[in-house]
Amino acid sequence: MELLTRQLDRIAILLSGVCVLHCILTPAVIALLPLLTLGIGGDEHFHELMLFIVLPISTLGLALGWRQHRRSRVLLAGVAAMALLTFASTWGHDNLSHALEATLMVIGSLALAAVHVANYRVLRHRRPVALQAP
């Protein structure tokens, strides 16, 4: 179970990095190569796809990690980061400026990656249950 949780943390960290790169590079690519966006679809589709992938992986990885280490702060921080990503990606896409939406997405992605790093470290450094003090 711990191996699965650690693998899910690694995948979630990678996906958060992809989100950050997307949010940072997309404006530059669009500014330099406007024709590139003609056949790709918009940011909205990318964000929806990433949420479809990121939310279940992060939820499962953090929940399994919490079952082992019981650090509620890690779980709550992950829920907050996922909520920020969901808000920025769904409601923010139509109601916020692109700059503010991208800023919130970058903050949410970095926060979620940091939470998964914390989850990974806590699991790696935790003592076996039989050796833990009461």
Quick: pLDDT tens for 3-54: 888 888 889 888 888 877 777 776 665 565 544 444 445 555 777 888 888 8
Buried b (16+ CB within 10 A) or exposed e, 114-130: ebbebbbebbeebeeee
pTM of the model: 0.68
Q: Which residue has the higher pLDDT, 26 or 61?
A: 61
Average pLDDT, the chain: 80
- How many domains in the chain? 1
Q: Domain of 13?
A: 2-131
- pLDDT of residue 130 exceeding 80: no
Would you tell me how many other CB atoms lie within 10 Å of the CB of residue 38? 7
User: By percentage, how much of the chain surpasses pLDDT 70?
Assistant: 79
